[in-house]
């Protein structure tokens, strides 16, 4: 069993408990009554030819590093991210391995005017309706965790709800599956799901397979501005950053630095080659 398999088993158990407590019909009603979602595609794509977008993550822990930060006030942290120029705020809601919750999502949604990503392991449509009910504008769809039929259905549901999905890939085959499914925001995660090791060179190898007009996000492995510059040079329109921000004393300044450095690397390249 891989790490992903183990996480998903726990996600399904926790989901079953929430479903028993709140039926899907009730979640749908709450989702349809929520304020209209914000446009994450526009927020992430706005950096093309200018500044690389930063998706700033509220993240307490991870399977690879354990505890990262004691985030007592996720709303305050998200507000600092927004002040620093983040394009999107990502909120981990998986509890067992990442220490997150839907309460964190609620707190962040109430504190910022940016698109908010519910970052979790989506395996059921219930979670998408749930994300919308709690004010999320974006969900994460991991190709490795879904069949082509599920991926297509979940993308269709997010579109129906006016949301977007970040479709996460790790291999050439997964990028091809994401493109075939019609994903318009594709994340390339350079973390090996079996070993949890980071291989940053994978990003550039996969990013060039993504067609023009698609937002490409570099996920995992951002330690500093140099990593952001490397990802931007490899074709990233945006970077998703968690650990480097939650462990920094001034995350707002760090976001500003990442945005500027990534943008400079982006502008140094031939823009038409990056969509």
Just list the catalytic residues.
57, 59, 119, 168, 189, 219-220
- What secondary structure does DSSP assign to 100-157, as a single string? --HHHHHHHHHH-SS-EEEES---SHHHHHHHHHTT-SEEEEEGGGS-HHHHHHHHHH
Pairing assessment for the beta strands 238-241 and 53-58 based on DSSP bridges = parallel
> Is the Cβ–Cβ distance between 65 and 113 less than 8 Å?
no
Total Cβ atoms within 10 A of residue 170: 24
For 23-32, give one letter per residue: b (16+ CB within 10 A) or e: eeeebbeebe
Helix (H, G, I), strand (E, B) or coil at 219: strand
Cα distance between residue 3 and residue 247, in whole Å:
24
Instruction: Look up residue 102 and give its two tokens.
Output: 């839907």
Instruction: Please state the φ and ψ torsions of residue 211, each to the nearest 5 degrees.
Output: -70, 155
CA-based nearest residue to 94, from 69, 67, 128, 121 = 121
CA-based nearest residue to 181, from 155, 217, 145 = 155
């Amino acid at each position: 069993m891989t790490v992903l398999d183990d996480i998903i088993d726990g996600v399904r158990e926790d989901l079953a408990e929430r479903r028993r407590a709140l039926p899907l019909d009730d979640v749908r009603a709450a989702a349809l009554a929520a304020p209209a979602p914000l446009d994450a595609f526009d927020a992430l794509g706005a950096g093309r030819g200018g500044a690389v977008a930063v998706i700033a993550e509220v993240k307490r822990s991870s399977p690879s590093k354990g505890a990262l930060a004691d985030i007592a006030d996720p709303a305050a942290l998200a507000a600092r991210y927004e002040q620093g120029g983040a394009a999107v705020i990502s909120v981990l809601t998986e509890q067992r391995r990442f220490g997150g919750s839907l309460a964190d999502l609620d707190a962040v949604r109430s504190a910022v005017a940016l698109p908010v990503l519910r970052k979790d392991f989506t395996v059921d449509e219930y979670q998408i309706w749930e994300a919308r009910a709690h004010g999320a504008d974006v969900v994460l769809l991991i190709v490795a965790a879904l069949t082509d039929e599920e991926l297509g259905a979940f993308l269709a549901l997010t579109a129906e709800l006016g949301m977007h999905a970040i479709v996460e890939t790790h291999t050439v085959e997964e990028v091809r599956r994401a493109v075939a499914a019609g994903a318009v925001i594709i994340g390339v995660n350079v973390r090996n799901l079996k070993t949890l090791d980071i291989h940053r060179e994978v990003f550039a190898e996969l990013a060039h397979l993504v067609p023009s007009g698609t937002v490409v996000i570099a996920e995992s492995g951002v330690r500093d501005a140099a990593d952001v510059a490397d990802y931007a040079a490899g074709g990233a329109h945006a970077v998703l950053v968690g650990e480097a921000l939650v462990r920094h004393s001034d995350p707002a300044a760090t976001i500003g630095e990442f945005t500027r450095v990534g943008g400079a690397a982006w502008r140094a390249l031939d823009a038409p080659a990056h969509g």
